[in-house]
Amino acid sequence: MKNIAVLLGDGCGPEIIQQAIRVLDKVSSVYNLNFKYNYASIGGRSYDETGLPLTEKTIQTCLSSDAVLLGAVGDWKYDSLSPELRPEKALLGIRKKLNLFANLRPVKIFDELLNTSPLKPEIARDVDIMIVRELTGDVYFGEPKGIIKKTTLDNREIKVGFNNMIYDEDEIARIAHVAFKSAQKRKKRVCCVDKANVLDVSRLFREITTEVSKEYNDVELSYMYVDNCAMQLIQNPRQFDVILTGNIFGDILSDEASTICGSLGMLPSASLSDGKTPFMYEPIHGSAPDLAGKNAVNPIATILSVAMMLNYSFNEKLAHDAIYRAVKDVLKEGYRTRDIYQKDLKQELCSTSKITDLIIEKIV
Ligand code: IPM
Ligand code: MG
């Protein structure tokens, strides 16, 4: 039996996780797998219960499990809390505590959603990109940081805010290895995305990535500035296989890339460590507090995150494929949640639980 730590989170987190667990239960019965779920609180929910967004108890539950499944964190009602107590802090905290330095965000469009993509079908067709985003460094964690006071030349006291974009060689090398290994299983191309024309930290990122690439002769390495990449993702997204990038650029580019697939609600993610701590799986979207509790959000990103878990943490490729196929079949038959629904195409609008029922039916 394998243990999965389940962190429901805030907003729509609990409902998408509930549906993803139903899918996991079905796939477990079909493929004879055995999982035990260990529920723990994170984010605003944890703050309400304990006064802290991330507790030692939750960290221990995760560390003692074989994998972690997370919904989403955040709600406007916590916006006035100090930065240390905000739900987002818990997400960064758990990524750091579990040493989840490699975030894999597959951007793969289902043919069935070509009409939903804001890009022309001939541009969006067959897009299949793996964004490898570094997850425990960069401006997200760099020191020094803060908001302090300074006195101007004309003697006024004003505030100044700063964060530090910082990477050391080891951090760059380990994420580069993940990108090259991932490319070896794909189309064998890595594009290193940075801002090396301006930033010293990006120049080091390129230099170390280039060094690491020498160990992967079968993989072709190219470089692109992040502003250009933002443009190329819209103009010609098919040119990319693996995108290797830092934390903040990866955050921004993955949201952008997700819309190619029709909706932010479609994209799963896996966050990997060096193997000594469990991996974590979460949709790339947020907690959508305005939609929470209405049985209206798209659970597919979380369902596909469970599929990634079966693949990366439990090596259950067949179970992974079964979920992916079921999602595809349901889309093919025209069932859609609101975010991917187009009335004029005679599709059937589904609730969160209804589309999950249909996906579950297809797993046999
Ligand atoms: C993501 C999210 C998080 C991030 C937020 C919620 C802290 O946007 O996972 O992409 O910036 O990493
Ligand atoms: Mg993001």
State the Cα–Cα distance between residues 177 and 169, nearest whole angstrom. 12
State the Cα–Cα distance between residues 30 and 23, nearest whole angstrom. 11
The one catalytic residue in 47, 78, 140, 281 is 140
Averaged pLDDT, 60-76: 97
Token couple for 310: 């079966």
Task: Evaluate whether residue 251 is within a structural domain.
Answer: no
Averaged pLDDT, 171-196: 98
Task: Evaluate whether residue 95 is within a structural domain.
Answer: yes
Into how many domains does the chain fold? 2
State the Cα–Cα distance between residues 292 and 45, nearest whole angstrom. 14
Residue with tokens 């819209």: 234
The one catalytic residue in 25, 48, 66, 255 is 255
pLDDT in tens, 282-300: 999 999 999 999 999 999 9
**How close is the Cα of 70 to the center of ligand 2, in Å?**
14
Residue 200 is a catalytic residue: no
Query: For residue 4, what are the domain limits?
Result: 1-116+261-364
- Give percent above pLDDT 70 in the chain: 100
Residue 128 is a catalytic residue: no
Q: Which of 168, 191, 179, 170 is nearest to 216 (CA)?
A: 179
Q: Please report how the helices 226-235 and 247-260 are oriented relative to each other, as an axis angle in degrees rounded to 10.
A: 10
pLDDT reported for residue 109: 96
Question: Which of 54, 78, 91 is the pocket-test mutation for ligand 1 (most atoms within 8 Å of CB)?
Answer: 91
The one catalytic residue in 10, 75, 194, 251 is 251
Residues framing ligand 1 (Cβ under 6 A): 88, 91, 251, 284, 286
The CATH number covering residue 228 comes to 3.40.50
Same domain, 275 and 197: no
The closest residue, in CA terms, to atom 7 on ligand 1 is 88
| Average pLDDT for the chain | 97
The CATH number covering residue 268 comes to 3.40.718.10
Same domain, 278 and 168: no
Same domain, 218 and 276: no
Asked if the model's pLDDT at residue 276 lies above 90, the reply is: yes
pTM of the model: 0.96
**How close is the Cα of 254 to the center of ligand 2, in Å?**
7
Residue with tokens 């004879």: 32
Same domain, 155 and 208: yes
Residue 138 is a catalytic residue: no
> CA separation (Å) from 93 to 36, 62, 87, 99, 266?
24, 12, 10, 10, 25
Structure confidence at residue 78 as a pLDDT band (50, 70, 90): very high
Task: Evaluate whether residue 256 is within a structural domain.
Answer: no
Structure confidence at residue 343 as a pLDDT band (50, 70, 90): confident
Structure confidence at residue 336 as a pLDDT band (50, 70, 90): very high
pLDDT in tens, 217-251: 999 999 999 999 999 999 999 999 999 999 999 99
Nearest-atom index, ligand 1, CA of 103: 9
N-term to C-term CA, the chain: 22
The single-letter code of the amino acid at 176 is A
Same domain, 197 and 276: no
Angle at 303 between CA 330 and CA 323, to 5 degrees: 55
Same domain, 288 and 179: no
Asked if the model's pLDDT at residue 345 lies above 90, the reply is: no
**How close is the Cα of 98 to the center of ligand 1, in Å?**
16
pLDDT reported for residue 344: 83
State the Cα–Cα distance between residues 209 and 205, nearest whole angstrom. 6
